[in-house]
Chains A and B, each alone.
Chain A
Amino acid sequence: MTQQELAEKVSVSRQTIISLENGRYNPSIFLAYNIAWFFHLTIEDVFLFEKENKK
C-alpha cells in the first residue's frame, strides 16, 4: 500500500501520512482511530504514546 492510497482512505493528504510516519505530527484522536480501524488494529497497536516527548 502506498502513502497516497492510505491518505485517500483516511481522507487526509499524503503529506500528513509522511509527517505521521516521521513522528513530526501528532494525529487527532479521530484520525488515529480511522487509521487503526483501517488496518483492523487498535490505536495502541499503531501509535506509541510517549509521555515525555509531548509536542
Chain B
Amino acid sequence: MNIEKHLKSQFIFAFASMIIGAIAIVSFILLAIYSNVKGNIFVFTGTIAIGFLLGGILLVVDYFRTSRNQLRRKQIEKQLEINNEERDIFLRTKSGNESFGFSLWLMLGLWMLSTWVNMSLSMLFPLVLGFMFLSYLVSMVINTGKY
C-alpha cells in the first residue's frame, strides 16, 4: 500500500469513526433523557461515543498533519513497509488465529463450568476481550522467537 492509498483509507476510517461517534452521542443523550436504565449500557454507549468521536477527530488531525509534512510522510512510508513485510504479516495472522482459538476454548470452558462459576454476560465480555489481547501478545512473543 502506498502513502496516498493509506492516507485515503485513513480519512475514510476517520469519517466513519466520527459518524459512529455521533450516532452513539445521540443514543447516549436519548438514553439519558428518556430511559430509566442507567446501568452498563449507559456507560457502554458513553464510552463508545467519546472513544469513536475523539479517535475520528485525532485521525483527521493526523491526516492533515501527514499530508503537509514531508518528514512525516517518509516516516509513515517506512512504517507501512514494516507493516507489509511478509514475515510480520505471517506472525500477526498466526498469533491472531491462535488467540482467537484460545478465547473460544476459554468460552467453552466457562460454559462448561457455568454451574459452579456464576458469571454475567457483562463480566464475560471484558474477560474474554482481555484474555484475547493477552493471549495475542503471548502468541506474538512466542511466534517471533519460533519463526
Query: What are the residues of chain B within 8 A of A13 when measuring CB–CB?
Result: 82, 85, 87-88
Tell whether, in the assembled complex, residue A27 and residue B86 are in contact, meaning their CB atoms are under 8 Å apart: yes
CB under 8 Å from chain A, chain B span 55-80: none
The contact size tier of chain B is under 10
Tell whether, in the assembled complex, residue B87 and residue A16 are in contact, meaning their CB atoms are under 8 Å apart: yes
Query: Which one of B81, B88, B90, B147 has the highest number of Cβ atoms from chain A below 10 Å of its Cβ?
Result: B147
A41 in the interface (beta carbon within 8 A): no
Tell whether, in the assembled complex, residue B86 and residue A12 are in contact, meaning their CB atoms are under 8 Å apart: yes
CB under 8 Å from chain A, chain B span 85-108: 85-88, 90
CA distance A5 to B146 in the complex (A): 24
CA distance A25 to B81 in the complex (A): 19
A24 touches which one: B82, B85, B86, B146 (CB < 8 A)?
B146
CA distance A12 to B87 in the complex (A): 8
Binary interface encoding of chain A residues 6-19 relative to chain B, with 1 for a CB under 8 A from any of its CBs, else 0: 00000111011001
CB distance from A26 to the nearest CB of B (A): 9
Say yes or no: A15-B81 contact (C-beta < 8 A), given A24-B146, A25-B147: no
B147 touches which one: A12, A19, A31 (CB < 8 A)?
A19
Closest to A16 in B: B87
* Chain A to chain B: the 4 pairs with minimum beta-carbon distance, closest first: A16-B87, A25-B147, A24-B147, A13-B85
What are 24 of the A-B contact pairs (CB < 8 Å)? Answer: A11-B81, A11-B85, A12-B85, A12-B86, A12-B87, A13-B82, A13-B85, A13-B87, A13-B88, A15-B87, A16-B85, A16-B86, A16-B87, A19-B87, A19-B147, A24-B146, A24-B147, A25-B87, A25-B90, A25-B147, A27-B86, A28-B86, A30-B86, A31-B86
